Structure 1
C-alpha cells in the first residue's frame, strides 16, 4: 500500500503544485505563491510568511524530480521581493500581504513602539535556499541591506536584554497559533523555543548570503550573533530535569532595591521555564541548537506514546497536557494535539540531522500513509488530522507544507532530497 500511496502522492503534488502560483496583483507587484489552490476559502490570494518558505522547499523538489530547474524561480523570487518592497525604513516586515494591502494587527512601527509581531525570521532562509539552488547570490545582492534592517529590528526590539532570548510581542500570528506558552498570555512575556530556533537559523542564513556575496568578515559577525543566541537557548530554555527545551516566561517584576520585602534576597533568575510540552521543543533539533546528549534525551520524549508519538506522526501538544484538544478551529488554527504536515516534517528533519535514521524513516513513512489515505478517500489533502486515526479534521484542499511529502518520498527512495537552508 505504501508504494501505491507514494506514486499517488508524487503525481498529485507534481500535478497540483502550479496551482499555488499567482500573478502580480494590486500591491503585490511581483509574482508570488500561496498555500492552496484558487478555490480555497482561506488561502487563495494571500502571501504568507513561513508558508511561502515551505512552498519553496516543495517547489525545489518538484523541479528536481521533473528535471525542470528554475521552473518556479520567478514566483519564489517574487515572494521575497514582495515582502522586501513592503519592509519599512526601520526593518518592519509584514506577516502577510494581500493584493489590497498588508494585514496589520495594531501598529508594528516605531511610532507604535514596535509592539506587534512581524514577519517570522525566515526571509533570509528562503533567500539562502534559492541561492543554493541557483549557485549564486548575485540575484539578491542589492537587497541584502533590507534583509539586514529586518534582522536588526528583531535583535533590537524583540530580544530580552537579561536573557538574550527573542520573544513574541503578542499572541497574534505566531505560527503555532494557540500554543499555550503564548496564547492569551501577557504581551512580550514568552521567549518561544519556536521563535528562537527560527531566528538562530535566520542569522546563519544571512551569514551564508553575505559570504556568498564576498563579504566574509561580515558573515562571521552574523554567525557569531547566531551562536550567542544558541548559547542563550541552551542556558535558559533547556530543562535538565525533563530532558527537553521549553519556552520561557519573561514577565517578571523588575528588581526594586528599595523594596524591603525582597531586598535581603532579590531574585537571581531572569526567566522561568514554561513547562508546556509542545512539539516546538523539537525545533531545537531541526535548528541544530541541541547538543548530542540533549538530542538523545529528546528522542526518548519523542518516542513516548503517552505524549507525542502517535500512529500518524507527532501530536502537536502532548496528550498529557490539560489543554490537549482535537477540535476543528480556524483563526486560530488548532495546534493543541492534531497532526500537521509541517510539524511531522520538521521533527523528521531534526531526527535525521542528529543521526536517528530509523526514527526519521518511520516518521516519513507514517506521513506518507497519513496523506496517502486521505488522498485515496477524499481526492485531496487537509490542514490537520487526528493523530491516532488519521482522519482529516478540517480545510479540505490545503496544499502548502503538506506537499513536503514529496520531499519525504525522495528521502525514502534514496534520491536527492531538497531541504530548507
Structure 2
C-alpha cells in the first residue's frame, strides 16, 4: 500500500501546495501563505504564526523535489516581513493577521503589562530556514532589530524569575489549544514544555542569523540564553520517576518571611511538575537538549500502545488520561488524543535526531498510511484524525503541516529531506 500511497501523496502535495499562497491584500502588503485550500474558508485568507513556519518547511521540500530553488521565496519572505511590519516597538507580534487587520485577544502591550500571548517563538526559525536555503541572511539585515525585539520580548516578559522557564500568559491561542497543562489554568501559571522547546530553538535560530550577518559576539550571547533555558528545562521539567519531561506549575504563593504558618519551613521548590501525559513531552527530543540516556527512556514511553503509540501515529494525549477524547471541536481545536500531522512530524524528527531510525521510519510510514488512505478515500486531507482507525474527524481541505508527509517520504525514499532549522 505504501508503494501506492507515496506517489499519490507526492503528486497531490506538489500539485496543490500553490493553493496555500496568497498575493498582497489589505494590511498584508507582501505575498504570504495560508494553512488551507480555498475550500476551507476558516483558514483561506489568514496568516497564522506557527502554521506559516511549517508551510515553509514543506515548500522547501517541494522546491528540492522539483528543482525549482527559490520558487516560493517571495511568499516565505513575505510572511516574515508581514509579521515584522505589524510588530510594535516593544516586540509584541500578532498571532494572526488578516487583510482587514491583526487579530488580537485583549491588549498585549506594555501598558497592559504584556499580559496576553503573542506570536509563538518560531519567526527567527522560519527566517533561519529561508536564509539557510538561500545561503545568505543579508535580505534580513535591516529587519534584525525588529526580530530581536520580538525574541527579547519573550525573555523579558514570558520567563519566570525563580525557574528561568518560559510560561504562557493565558490559555488563549497557544497552538495546542486545549492542552490540559494550560487550558483553563490561571494566567502565567504554566511553564509549557512545548513553549520552552520552541523558544530554545528560536534563541538558537536568532543567534545563527546574527552570526550569518557577522555579529558573532552578539550571536554567542543568544546561544548563551538558549543554554540557560535548556538547563532550566532539564532541571525543572525532567521527571526521573517517569523518565520524561512535563510542563510545570508555577502557581505557587511567594515566600513570605513574616508568614507565621510557613516561616519555620519555607518551600525549597520553585515549581511543581504536572504529570499530564501529552505528546509535547517528546518535543525536547526535537529541540535537541536531551541526553542520550534520557532519550532512551522517552522512546520506551513513546512505544507504549496503551498511552501514545497508535496505529496511525502519536496520540496527542495518553489514552490513560481522564481527559482523553476524540470529539470534533474547533476553537478550541482538539488535542486531547487525536492524531495531528504536526505532532507526528515533530516526534518523528526527534526520533530521527537521536538515532532511533527504526522508530522514526515506523512513524513516517504510519503517517503515509494515514494521509494516503484519506486522500484515496475522500480526495482531500483533514485537520485531525482518530488514532486507531485513521478516520478523519474534521476540517476537510486542511493542508498546512499535513503536507510535511512529503518530507517524510523523502526520508523513506532516501532523497534529500528538507528540515526545519
Question: TM tier, shorter chain?
Answer: over 0.9
**TM-superposition CA deviations, 1:314-360 (whole Å, max 9, x none):** 00000000000000000000000000000000000000000000000
Shift of 1:290: 1.1
Shift of 1:39: 2.2
Shift of 1:112: 1.0
Q: How does 1:346-357 map to 2 (within 5 A)?
A: 346-357=346-357
Residue equivalent to 2:240:
240
Structure 1 residue runs of 5 or longer lacking an equivalent are: none
Q: How does 1:46-195 map to 2 (within 5 A)?
A: 46-195=46-195
Residue equivalent to 1:41:
41
SS at match of 2:43: coil
SS at match of 1:97: strand
Separation (CA, whole Å) in 2 of partners of 1:47 and 1:152: 23
Residue equivalent to 1:408:
408
Separation (CA, whole Å) in 1 of partners of 2:234 and 2:322: 27
Separation (CA, whole Å) in 2 of partners of 1:81 and 1:35: 18
Q: How does 1:278-289 map to 2 (within 5 A)?
A: 278-289=278-289
Separation (CA, whole Å) in 2 of partners of 1:390 and 1:382: 11
Separation (CA, whole Å) in 1 of partners of 2:147 and 2:226: 15
**TM-superposition CA deviations, 1:200-239 (whole Å, max 9, x none):** 0000000000010011111111001100000000000000
Separation (CA, whole Å) in 2 of partners of 1:290 and 1:311: 27
Moved over 6 A (4+): none
Q: TM-score, normalised by structure 1?
A: 1.00
Shift of 1:256: 1.1
Separation (CA, whole Å) in 2 of partners of 1:151 and 1:5: 40
SS at match of 2:260: coil
Shift of 1:381: 0.2
Separation (CA, whole Å) in 1 of partners of 2:41 and 2:238: 40
**TM-superposition CA deviations, 1:392-413 (whole Å, max 9, x none):** 0000000000000100000000
Separation (CA, whole Å) in 2 of partners of 1:214 and 1:113: 34
Shift of 1:41: 2.2
| 2:261 counterpart of 1:261 | yes
Residue equivalent to 2:291:
291
Residue equivalent to 2:332:
332
Residue equivalent to 1:207:
207
Residue equivalent to 1:366:
366
Separation (CA, whole Å) in 2 of partners of 1:85 and 1:43: 21
**TM-superposition CA deviations, 1:352-395 (whole Å, max 9, x none):** 00000000000000000000000000000000000000000000
| 2:26 counterpart of 1:26 | yes
Separation (CA, whole Å) in 1 of partners of 2:53 and 2:417: 16
SS at match of 1:42: helix
Shift of 1:289: 1.5
Separation (CA, whole Å) in 2 of partners of 1:399 and 1:251: 38
Separation (CA, whole Å) in 2 of partners of 1:17 and 1:341: 16
Residue equivalent to 1:345:
345
Shift of 1:38: 1.6
